[in-house]
Amino acid sequence: MMQTAWFDTAAPEQSSQPKRVATSKRSYTGDLFEMKAHSLLIACTAACPAVAEQKLPPFTEAVLPIGNDVYAVSIGPGGPDEEFGSDATNGGLYKLTPDGTTEEIKLSDGQGLRNPTGMVRSSNQIVIVDGNEIISTALDGTVNWRQALDEDGVFLYDIEALDENTLFVSDFGRGAFLSVATQTGQIQPYLNDLPVSGLARFAIAETGIYAVSWGSDDAWDSALYWVPHSSNGDNAVSLADGFGNLESVEIVNGTVVVGGYRGHEKYPNARLMRVETDGNILPLSAGSHSRGISDMLFDGSSIWLTYFYDASYAELPSQAAQNLD
């Protein structure tokens, strides 16, 4: 069981920076999405070359192992500069088989995918977040439901399962969490009073949520937050900061691991880092060869890392969360 007592300490006072403007995917992307696209380009240009991994379609955001296959969502061949904010259905859901075959799975409703950035397994379904939409589909592409949130600023980014009835979703555009009913796709606000500007991916613990913020392109202002499940006036607690463009977080055997594109101000070449219970940051050797980690999944035995700009993924043993660089 995860230990969370250290989060009960008072959070450091946080500055009240104005939230950046972001608009719905169905209009244009706003400052937050332009910021991500720009900094991803910097990461792609400045980092060292990648070593060979299991290959993926270009600009894959996340992978999901199911049985012997691996499923992947890609935002499309144009990359973030072109695809984020576009209504073109250039995104895709793919199945990678053990023999090396990559198959694009077409969705049965004919509406396609635009900017899919996250997915989770829910019973026999894959549930995908795509801009302002959430889609539940069978493994063969048969759509169970598709729900849209047509509100200003929405850009849904990550999705995780709380239990068999409820999914949580992060809204990158508005810095908020949403709850989603697994059977119907009904969307409701969750912890509306706890905004995290530039909210990217998150991991669910017993009493709360670990979440990472994207930050700006030219500063060390990405952070790891602890967000309690209760909505009784608690604030999001900053557990560790000084990161550069964090995107992913996972809990690996009780250890909090974060991944991103520009490491930490102390370890700018790191891509994967462990956050100790006292907030200390330790760089890990895994992923250090890559140009950035867009998503991380721990399935109980293996850590699955998605390398966005390298168009590849790696399956690593859980011990990778302990191996320091």
Domain residue ranges of the chain, discontinuous segments joined by +: 20-321
223 beta partners = 241
> What does the buried/exposed string (b/e) look like for 224-257 if buried means 16 or more CB atoms within 10 Å of the residue's CB?
bbbbbeeeeebebbbbbbbbbbbbbbbbbeebbb
Q: Cα–Cα distances in Å, from 40 out to 99, 245, 247?
A: 31, 9, 11
CA–CA separation, 25 and 3 (whole Å): 38
Question: Which among 309, 241, 244, 288 is positioned nearest to 56, based on CA atoms?
Answer: 309
CATH class in words for 20-321: mainly beta
Q: How does pLDDT run along the chain (325 residues), one tens digit per residue?
A: 333 333 333 233 333 333 223 333 233 345 555 555 555 544 443 443 333 468 999 999 999 999 999 999 999 999 998 888 788 999 999 999 999 999 999 999 999 999 999 999 999 999 999 999 999 999 999 999 999 999 999 999 999 999 999 999 999 999 999 999 999 999 998 876 667 889 999 999 988 999 999 999 889 999 999 988 876 656 788 999 999 999 999 999 999 999 999 999 999 999 999 999 999 999 999 998 999 999 999 999 999 999 999 999 999 999 999 888 7
DSSP-derived secondary structure for 282-309? EEBSTTTTSS-EEEEEE-SSEEEEEETT
pLDDT at 85: 77
CA–CA separation, 176 and 154 (whole Å): 9
What SS3 state is found at 9?
coil
Which residue stretches of the chain are H helix? 30-46, 79-83
Place of tokens 């890559």: 290
pLDDT at 194: 66
The amino acid that residue 204 corresponds to is I
β 237-243/222-228 pair status: antiparallel
Question: Which among 110, 83, 86 is positioned nearest to 24, based on CA atoms?
Answer: 86
CA–CA separation, 14 and 273 (whole Å): 23
Contacts by 218-221, CB closer than 8 A, 24 or more apart = 219/244, 220/244, 220/262, 220/264, 220/265
Q: Tokens at residue 256, please?
A: 């909090």
Handedness of CA 82, 83, 86, 87 (dihedral sign): positive
pLDDT at 2: 35
Q: ∠ at Cα 322 (319, 325), nearest 5°? A: 115
Question: Which one-letter DSSP state was computed for residue 317?
Answer: E
pLDDT at 191: 75
Neighbours of 99 (CB within 10 A): 6
Residues in the chain: 325
Which residue stretches of 104-252 are H helix? none
